[in-house]
Structure 1
């Protein structure tokens, strides 16, 4: 954590480390589900020529894909890699930019809290009514829905964390600092795949 961010931290150090750890674990889980997709797809592709059938492989791969997408959101957001509309906000500086950043974080937090509420409700409802998948292998639907719900809840926590950080005078942590040299700019462009 930079000196400027440490100075404006509203949370005790143990809570800050716990939240950052939560975002990192969520990112790691997204990576594990990505590996699971690879293994399932490889099994499906390699199994066909030798007569090996992976029952409901497509279902499991799609559930893993949803878990990968949602579990990776908070880590991506905190790493400054989530797509954001900088063309508008980069035109401002000072207090106006700070107010816009806070407004954007507040809108994002409200949207994610709303989405998280209904994602958790969907999982709860599926569990309560014992909804079962319609595929070859019957799976309780709350299990694959859990990846999405957990990912959205962690993203909502990240947005609220960032909103509180901004409200108490911190600088946006989801934004990478401007490159200091031409080489650093080229390196960032190469990392982004653009």
Structure 2
């Protein structure tokens, strides 16, 4: 499955890079806020002051850091992949398995995103809050994770299209272990 169109592949890559950059900026912002929260919790503890719902807020920020950062790994194929067997197969078999892996991954993330959006919407409609001191709507952390999943899904689709219209799915330099080129 390879339809050569370098202009379209380049466009997909440019959009993918922007999605990854936005994803990384949001993940870094979430991580910076998490660090500031920890500093505040530790610093204020010396004065006998506790930060209300600090554990809830920390959980939201930690979830945001991970979920929002997922899409940043996609453009350079920097995600974890187990390719011990496909690196030893014929290029046509490798390409086919990579297409199947992309399609299955996109389908799974899409299904997860659909189910998660239904749960988020129910939490949003009900107005249910987290269990901490502050009335933080449960839809907030769910929305952050859902945004990360949506960015991941978009990044995977763009990377799939980029490879379909560009280099194809056969092994390329990034797929080989260092020193095997």
TM-score category of the 2 structures, normalised to the smaller one: 0.7 to 0.9
* Counterpart residue number, 2:37: 40
Match of 1:49 among 46, 51, 66: 46
SS in 2 for 1:176: helix
* Counterpart residue number, 1:10: 8
* Counterpart residue number, 1:105: 102
Question: TM-score normalized by structure 2?
Answer: 0.85
Measured in 1, the distance between the counterparts of 2:9 and 2:92 equals 24
Measured in 2, the distance between the counterparts of 1:174 and 1:157 equals 23
* Counterpart residue number, 1:124: 121
Distance 1:94 1:174, change over 3 A: closer
* Counterpart residue number, 2:136: 139
C-alpha contact (below 8 Å) 2:87/2:176 kept by paired residues? no
SS in 1 for 2:50: coil
1:20-62 deviations in Å (ceiling 9; x for gaps)? 2122101110011011111111111122122121111111011
What CA RMSD, in Å, does the superposition of the two structures yield over aligned residues? 2.7
* Count of residues in correspondence between the two structures: 177
Question: Gaps spanning 5+ residues in structure 1: where?
Answer: 1-5, 186-194
Measured in 1, the distance between the counterparts of 2:149 and 2:177 equals 31
Q: Give the CA deviation at 1:108.
A: 0.6
* Counterpart residue number, 2:68: 71
Question: TM-score normalized by structure 1?
Answer: 0.79
Does 146-155 or 119-128 show the bigger shift?
A: 119-128
Distance 1:96 1:177, change over 3 A: closer
* Counterpart residue number, 2:24: 27
C-alpha contact (below 8 Å) 1:102/1:166 kept by paired residues? no
Measured in 1, the distance between the counterparts of 2:140 and 2:32 equals 18
